[in-house]
Amino acid sequence: MLLLCAAFAFAEGEGDGLARMGLRSTLSASGGKSTQLSKSGDQTFGAPPASGAGDTGFVSAEQAQYRLKHRKKKKPDTALAQTAARPAARIQDRAQRENVATGIITGAIPSTAGPLKRTREEEEPFGPVGVREGAFLLKPSIDILTGYDDNPLRVQNGPGSAFTTVKSELSAKSDWSRHELSVDLRGSFTHYTDVDHNDRPDAAAVVRGRIDVTKTTRIELMETAALATQSAGTADSVTGAKRPPNIYTLGSTAGVVQAFNRFELGLYGGYERNMYQNADLIGGGVLDLSDSNYNTYSTRLRGSYEVTGGVRPFVEASIDTRVFDHTIDSFGVRRGSDGMKADVGIAFNRPEVITGEASIGYGRRTYDDPTLPNISGLMVDSSLIWKATALTKVTLNVTSTIGESTLTNASGVFTHEAKVIVDHAFRRWLIGSAFASYGVDEYRGIGRTDDRFTYGAALTYYFNRSLALHGELRQERLNSNVPDNNYTANIVMIGLRLQR
């Protein structure tokens, strides 16, 4: 009978679910066994529906009200409420971000990105990129310049000439985690079109090495080589030569540096060889310059203390001796000498502001021959690069040296020279430079003094990081207390620079 009841409900269109609900309601009301007859005589199953039955015919209004009245109130689920609130919060945050991006301000929106940070600009936006070769970064370059020099011989009222200069440079530096090796090579050759026998080669090579023995001990090594010619217009230049004779210089330096916390102590030993090429004379014959060849042996002690980051005062003392190939030269003079120097200074290693070092001290050279007067005096040395502003850089170089001289009765030449260069970036790709220098040469023993002046300006235009156009204009002057030795030279040049 139960099966027939379920089939009847389904046939009346109430559906599967309602049939099951009616079946459960009927069984529940009758206890599964009671049957009655309706007024019309039709047989029904279970209790008749209560008065005011619902639209469904299975749940009466009284039953619904009873259930609502006696339903237990459930406590709100806090975790469920928070979970439901999360999507709404995410939608609100997304809307706020979109409003900020489009510039629509709908209220006080707190910033979640923090303050904007400016990207640090390159120090040399058009500097060479370099070529990676193993553990080394190579930076090669070549300059081809042409111009005019109205006095290439550096004499009074000398003739002018057009010239061409080819220069090349190569720098390399290792990026090892320990130890270091760097190489700097440069060379140039200048050819004068309208003046014979004045071509001038120039080259230099410097190799530096550092061996980190321990965290507090290191070995520093340096090898140098240079090729130059006797400077035109100087007192030691050979007159009547077919071409200026070459001067060769070779040097080696080795030192050990020991650190004691912030204090460092370094001991260095050095050797230098100077050789002068014989001069071929225009009138025939050869002038022997081997009397000028000599060796220098030196020892240097340096102590420094880092008072703060990148600032290190130091004290340095050195002694040296010069030994000539010929103990007595062609004039019967013993040219050998001993020298000493002591100075104090300060070294800077703060690339964002200043780098380099500056020192002041006292130097003295004593000569073997009693007829040659000793040379002594105040000595200033510095090599500083100061970044005055983000667009302006100032370079200052000051040197003091006691050199050799071939002049009769002159023991040597005491030279002081200072040079300043100001570079300003009008644009990242347009660099203007102004420079000036002053030097004084004192030839001790003969009373000669030469004052040298150089000043000028240059402009460099970078097409890109590999190609630049360079122009320069400068004047060189020499004023001497010896008559007929003054001169003035004006030079203008323009050329291209290729770099990588």
Number of domains in the chain: 2
**Closest C-alpha among 1, 10, 56, 62 to residue 33:** 1
Tell me if 58 is assigned to some domain: no
- Summarised one tens digit per residue, pLDDT across range 15-58 is 444 334 443 444 344 444 444 444 444 444 454 554 444 444 44
* Alpha-carbon gap, residue 208 to 373, rounded angstroms: 37
Tell me, yes or no, whether 370 and 246 share the same domain: yes
**Cα–Cα separations (whole angstroms), residue 329 to 48, 149, 229, 290:** 147, 37, 22, 9
What is the pLDDT at residue 87?
52
- Summarised one tens digit per residue, pLDDT across range 165-195 is 999 999 999 999 999 999 999 999 999 999 9
* pTM > 0.85: no
**Cα–Cα separations (whole angstroms), residue 20 to 17, 254, 313, 348:** 5, 104, 100, 95
Tell me, yes or no, whether 237 and 144 share the same domain: yes
**Closest C-alpha among 372, 434, 427 to residue 404:** 372
- Phi first, then psi, for residue 462 (nearest 5°) are -95, 115
Q: List the structure tokens of 287.
A: 């002038």
For 261, half-sphere exposure in the C-beta direction (CA atoms, 13 angstrom radius) is 2
Tell me the average pLDDT across 293-299.
97
Tell me, yes or no, whether 170 and 290 share the same domain: yes
Q: How many residues can be counted in the chain?
A: 500
Q: Which residue has the tokens 């706020």?
A: 96
* Alpha-carbon gap, residue 295 to 99, rounded angstroms: 79
Tell me if 71 is assigned to some domain: no
| SS3 call for 93 | helix
- Summarised one tens digit per residue, pLDDT across range 398-445 is 999 999 998 888 999 999 999 999 999 999 999 999 999 999 999 999
- Summarised one tens digit per residue, pLDDT across range 113-148 is 555 555 555 667 888 889 999 999 999 999 999 999
Tell me if 79 is assigned to some domain: no
Tell me, yes or no, whether 14 and 152 share the same domain: no
| SS3 call for 379 | strand
Task: Give the structural domain span for 24.
Answer: 1-49
Tell me if 470 is assigned to some domain: yes
CATH of the domain at 241: 2.40.160
Q: Would you say 452 and 419 are in contact if contact means Cβ atoms under 8 Å apart?
A: no
| Burial (CB count <10 Å: 0-12, 13-18, 19+), residue 288 | exposed
Find the Cα–Cα–Cα–Cα dihedral 227, 232, 233, 238, rounded to 10°.
Answer: 80
Tell me, yes or no, whether 22 and 149 share the same domain: no
Tell me the average pLDDT across 76-94.
51
DSSP single-letter state for residue 290 = G
The larger pLDDT score, comparing residue 446 to residue 39, is at: 446
Tell me, yes or no, whether 373 and 490 share the same domain: yes
Tell me if 411 is assigned to some domain: yes
Tell me, yes or no, whether 301 and 446 share the same domain: yes
Tell me if 103 is assigned to some domain: no
